[in-house]
């Protein structure tokens, strides 16, 4: 994939997010439940610093339930508070508010002990593009949200939205850059639609998706496209067979491969090939294609 992030931009983005994070007491990091490792920002720890931190696995409605459980256990084992939610329907958002309130309790206790008149606890949602930040903010804020007035020192337009007892959310999310240097992660970001369709190599991305589908969703794949065993011997035969079944033919009976690729990609994204989590907990966390940089 072609990467549009440069070191200068990343340094500036890091500074901006750090400024955002300074204003809050608890940080909510949104990950895509289908790719909890690939959708994490590479320098999130540096960005978040010492603030209490909650991981939210969003789009859980599109992920494999067993994998979501495994990822939840993985983060829990590291002492991180983790929740799975579906921001589109709002399923799980009450638990999220409760978790933030729970994590902020020690902060309020500290304020009380110091004799500081306690104010509302503040939180922010951080995440890579398209992970569902705006959807979650809208869901938490609700249509008739009580918005507190702009406070001095905050960028105009940014507002605090009351989302719980003594709890306010910044209505502007912090946008983090995705993990594009890891080619396996970059391809999965493309598969899930986190990277815009015109900046990556569709052929390479789809080769990887077809391999994962063959491995993880063989039966669904065969049923949906009415395939035979012999079509599964390679990603080329698979793509060709699906293209023929779907009538992606150009003159001379040749398959329009890109058309076939797009059909499969759309089917994956809309969960027509089942609920598939692409990142596995027990994979190598970093992937290199063997080339020296």
Which residue from 28, 131, 180, 278 is in contact with ligand G4P, where contact means CB under 6 A?
A: 131
* Residues in 48-107 at the binding interface with ligand G4P, rule: CB under 6 A: 58-59, 61-62, 86-88
The residue whose Cβ lies closest to ligand G4P is: 132
Measure the CA–CA gap between 58 and 74, rounded to whole angstroms.
16
Q: How far apart are CB 227 and ligand G4P at their closest, in Å?
A: 27
- Choose between 91 and 244: whose C-beta lies nearer to ligand G4P: 91
**Residue 18: Cβ-neighbour burial (10 angstroms; 0-12, 13-18, 19+):** middle
- Choose between 134 and 212: whose C-beta lies nearer to ligand G4P: 134
Q: How far apart are CB 240 and ligand G4P at their closest, in Å?
A: 29
- Residue 106, number of CB atoms within 10 A of its CB: 10
Residue 134, interface with ligand G4P (CB under 6 A)? Answer: yes
Number of residues that bind ligand G4P (CB under 6 A): 16
Residue 174, interface with ligand G4P (CB under 6 A)? Answer: no
- For residues 66, 130, 282 and 41, what is the CA-based torsion angle, rounded to 10 degrees? -140
Q: Among residues 278, 209, 223, which one has the least CA distance to residue 62?
A: 278
- Choose between 134 and 235: whose C-beta lies nearer to ligand G4P: 134
The bridge status of strand 254-255 relative to strand 81-84 is unpaired
Residue 256, interface with ligand G4P (CB under 6 A)? Answer: no
**By the 8 A CB rule, do 58 and 50 touch?**
no
- Choose between 61 and 256: whose C-beta lies nearer to ligand G4P: 61
| Residues binding ligand G4P (CB under 6 A) | 58-59, 61-62, 86-88, 127, 129-135, 173
């Amino acid at each position: 994939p072609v990467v549009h992030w440069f070191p200068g931009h990343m340094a500036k983005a890091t500074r901006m997010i750090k400024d955002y994070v300074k204003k809050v007491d608890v940080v909510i990091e949104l990950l895509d439940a289908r790719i909890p490792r690939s959708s994490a920002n590479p320098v999130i720890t540096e960005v978040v610093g010492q603030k209490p931190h909650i991981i939210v696995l969003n789009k859980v409605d599109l992920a494999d339930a067993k994998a979501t459980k495994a990822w939840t256990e993985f983060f829990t084992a590291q002492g991180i508070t983790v929740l799975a939610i579906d921001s589109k329907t709002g399923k799980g958002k009450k638990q999220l508010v409760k978790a933030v309130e729970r994590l902020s309790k020690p902060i309020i206790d500290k304020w009380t002990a110091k004799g500081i008149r306690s104010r509302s606890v503040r939180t922010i949602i951080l995440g890579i593009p398209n992970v569902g930040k705006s959807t979650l903010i809208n869901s938490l804020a609700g249509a008739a949200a009580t918005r507190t007035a702009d406070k001095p020192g905050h960028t105009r337009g940014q507002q605090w939205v009351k989302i719980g007892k003594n709890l306010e959310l910044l209505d502007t999310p912090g946008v983090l850059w995705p993990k594009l240097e890891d080619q396996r992660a970059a391809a999965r970001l493309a598969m899930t639609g986190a990277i815009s369709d015109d900046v990556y190599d569709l052929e390479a991305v789809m080769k990887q998706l077809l391999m994962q589908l063959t491995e993880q969703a063989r039966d669904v794949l065969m049923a949906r496209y009415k395939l035979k065993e012999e079509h599964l011997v390679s990603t080329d035969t698979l793509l060709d067979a699906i293209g023929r079944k779907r009538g992606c033919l150009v003159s001379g009976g040749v398959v329009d491969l890109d058309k076939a690729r797009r059909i499969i990609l759309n089917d994956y994204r809309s969960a027509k090939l089942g609920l598939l989590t692409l990142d596995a907990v027990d994979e190598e966390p970093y992937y290199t294609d063997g080339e020296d940089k």
